[in-house]
């Protein structure tokens, strides 16, 4: 009985979650995603589905004395398969420029910039057509899974807000609430499972069906992450993003008003796993 009382009175284990960057360290992640978009065009809804994959490499270039780091992200071996009703299914490569990211040890993105000399800003890859991987939103998702500057216990929640300019020049502000769901020991590692709910207002320019377009709205994400507390690195991130958007296609004749202020609903499921 005394032992049970002592265990009940004992304080819960509190841990510090933070990245432990090491100069020269390179981590490789594999991302898969699937998406469905529905544009509510008055004449007939346009439904697009997509699925794809991408390899993402994160290299640590510099680490400051406070633990903040300069990271280099490269994207390769990407492709996406898209299908739109009434159109031929296509498989196309996904190509993105290398991006340099400033990130603090709590996992929040401080800034981004294109690392390739002379590279043009990427507002949205022209071949995405509203389906699949959002190049700019990717860094918002990474930043959403940020940690507080204090110890946390299992079951405890914390709020974060981060704001930065994405590689495409768009301002990104991410508000998130995360909860430490569990701490487990796997292969001598302390693995934290974190559940995050985030919201990101969205304004971007894309090309849809080879026509310039502007999109505004918001994206809500629910993300589950696995993080190695011992090694200070992200092991896995899985989630679902739901977007409620308004689409305005540009350069169309006045006889095509149905492509102005079009509601668009998009759902993307993604997983990023350390290789």
pLDDT digits (tens, 9 = 90+) for 75-93: 999 999 988 877 778 888 8
pLDDT score of 137? 78
- Determine the longest span between alpha carbons in the chain, in angstroms: 82
Residue 65 in any domain: the answer is: yes
Residue 13 in any domain: the answer is: no
How would residue 38 be classed by pLDDT, with cut points 50, 70 and 90? confident
Whichever domain contains 243, its CATH number is 2.30.230
For residue 194, count CB atoms less than 10 angstroms from its CB and return exposed for 0-12, middle for 13-18, buried for 19 or more: buried
Please report which residue ranges of the chain form alpha helices under DSSP H: 2-9, 135-144
Indicate if the pLDDT at residue 168 is higher than 70: no
Averaged pLDDT, 149-162: 96
Residue 98 in any domain: the answer is: yes
Residue 4 in any domain: the answer is: no
pLDDT score of 254? 56
**Which of the pair, 199 or 126, is modelled with greater confidence?**
199
Indicate if the pLDDT at residue 197 is higher than 60: yes
Residues 191/235, Cβ–Cβ less than 8 Å: yes
pLDDT score of 215? 80
Residue 14 in any domain: the answer is: no
As given in the structure block, the two tokens for residue 132 are 């699949």
Residue 120 in any domain: the answer is: yes
Residue 8 in any domain: the answer is: no
Question: Could you tell me whether strands 46-63 and 26-39 are parallel, antiparallel, or unpaired per DSSP bridges?
Answer: antiparallel
pLDDT score of 42? 77
Indicate if the pLDDT at residue 266 is higher than 70: yes
Domain count, the chain: 1
Best CA proximity match to 97, nearest among 125, 71, 69: 125
pLDDT score of 274? 98
Residue 131 in any domain: the answer is: yes
Q: What is the pTM of this model?
A: 0.84
**Which of the pair, 95 or 145, is modelled with greater confidence?**
145
The domain in which residue 225 lies consists of 20-274
């Amino acid at each position: 009985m005394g032992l049970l009382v002592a265990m009940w009175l004992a304080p819960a284990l509190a841990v510090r979650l933070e990245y432990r960057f090491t100069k020269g360290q390179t981590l490789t992640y594999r991302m898969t995603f699937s998406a469905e978009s529905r544009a509510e065009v008055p004449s007939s809804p346009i439904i697009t589905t997509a699925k794809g994959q991408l390899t993402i490499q994160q290299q640590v270039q510099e680490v400051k004395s406070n633990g903040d780091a300069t990271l280099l992200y490269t994207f390769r071996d990407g492709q996406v398969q898209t299908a739109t009703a009434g159109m031929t299914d296509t498989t196309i490569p996904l190509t993105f420029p290398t991006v340099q990211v400033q990130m603090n040890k709590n996992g929040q993105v401080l800034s981004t910039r294109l690392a390739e000399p002379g590279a043009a800003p990427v507002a949205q890859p022209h071949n995405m057509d509203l389906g699949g991987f959002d190049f700019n939103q990717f860094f918002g998702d990474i930043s959403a899974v940020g940690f507080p500057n204090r110890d946390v216990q299992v079951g405890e929640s914390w709020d974060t807000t981060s704001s930065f300019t994405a590689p495409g020049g768009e301002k990104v502000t991410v508000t998130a609430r995360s909860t430490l769901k569990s701490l487990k020991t796997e292969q001598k590692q302390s693995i934290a499972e974190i559940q995050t709910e985030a919201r990101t207002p969205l304004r971007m320019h894309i090309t849809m069906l080879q026509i310039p377009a502007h999109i505004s709205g918001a994206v809500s994400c629910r993300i589950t992450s696995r993080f190695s507390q011992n090694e200070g690195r992200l092991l896995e991130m899985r989630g679902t993003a739901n977007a409620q958007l308004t689409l305005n296609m540009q350069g169309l004749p006045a006889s095509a008003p149905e492509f102005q202020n079009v509601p668009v609903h998009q759902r993307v499921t993604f997983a990023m796993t350390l290789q």
